[in-house]
Amino acid sequence: MALGKDYAAQECSIARALEVVGERWTLLVVRDALYGVRRYNDFLVHLGIPRAVLAARLQTLTDAGVLEKRPCAGAPRRHEYVVTERGRALWPTLRALSAWGRGGLGDTEPLRTFRHAACGTELGPSGECPACGLLVPVGDVEMLPGPGLDPEPGDPVSRALLAPRRLLQPVVTDPV
pLDDT of residue 130: 95
Kindly report, residue by residue over 24-58, the tens digit of the pLDDT.
899 999 999 999 999 999 999 999 999 999 999 99
In the three-class reduction of DSSP (H, G, I as helix; E, B as strand; rest coil), residue 167 is classed as: coil
Query: Would the pLDDT of 3 be above 50?
Result: no
Kindly give the residue spans of alpha helices, DSSP state H, lying in 74-155: 85-88, 91-104
pLDDT of residue 175: 54
Nearest to 168 by CA among 62, 34, 42: 34
Query: Would the pLDDT of 77 be above 70?
Result: yes
Max Cα distance, the chain (Å) = 55
pLDDT of residue 145: 94
Query: Would the pLDDT of 172 be above 60?
Result: yes
pLDDT of residue 115: 96
pLDDT of residue 110: 83
Please give the Cα distance from 157 to 171 (Å, whole number): 7
Average pLDDT of the chain to the nearest whole number: 89
Tell whether the torsion through CA atoms of 61, 160, 156 and 99 is positive or negative.
negative
Whether the pTM exceeds 0.75: the reply is yes
Please give the Cα distance from 165 to 128 (Å, whole number): 18
pLDDT of residue 136: 94
Please give the Cα distance from 42 to 13 (Å, whole number): 32
